[in-house]
Amino acid sequence: MLFKTCVKYKPTGKYSIIESDYPTKAQFISDLRANGYAVNPLKIKESNLYNWIVENSNGEETEWKYINRIPEEHESVSEWIFEGLQKEHKKLMAKSAKHLEESKNSHQQFLKDFNLTEEEFQAQVKARKGL
């Protein structure tokens, strides 16, 4: 498969476009890094898709992330990006809810371990803060 990307050569800091044929994207990334290049995996695409993104988008990170094929005429890339962002948002919200629940459980366990009520705990917090 022919891949293409923009890389930065670490020793000189110079940027260049590299296009090469590899069996997998992972092998392409591995060889680039082994040869001293800094690589953003989101910006490694099949050559024709890379060219399409460069020519038809603003080059924003979300575009590189969510455009994974050249769209048909009737398809909207904006919808792909919006849907991708919605999925990301849902994952983050679920992760936040999980962390909140874990925090609540941890707090409840703390109160139980030290035989405190919530009111006693809040009073100690205020006392330590000098309120």
Q: What is the pLDDT of residues 17-55, one digit of tens each?
A: 999 999 999 999 999 999 999 999 999 999 999 999 999
At 81-106, the pLDDT tens digits run 888 888 888 988 999 989 989 998 89
Mean pLDDT of the chain: 91
More reliable by pLDDT, 5 or 130: 5
What integer pLDDT is reported at residue 84 of this predicted model? 82
* 5: Cα separation from own chain's centroid: 18
pLDDT of the residue at 85: 85
Instruction: Provide the b/e sequence for 7-20 (b: ≥16 CB within 10 Å).
Output: beeeeeeeeeebee
| For residue 71, pLDDT beyond 80 | yes
Q: Report residue 79's pLDDT band, with 50, 70 and 90 as the boundaries.
A: confident
Segments making up each domain of the chain, as ranges: 2-70, 89-129
Question: Across the chain, where does the E strand assignment appear?
Answer: 2-9, 14-21, 37-38, 45-46
Cβ neighbours of 29 (radius 10 Å): 19
Assess whether pLDDT exceeds 80 at residue 76: no
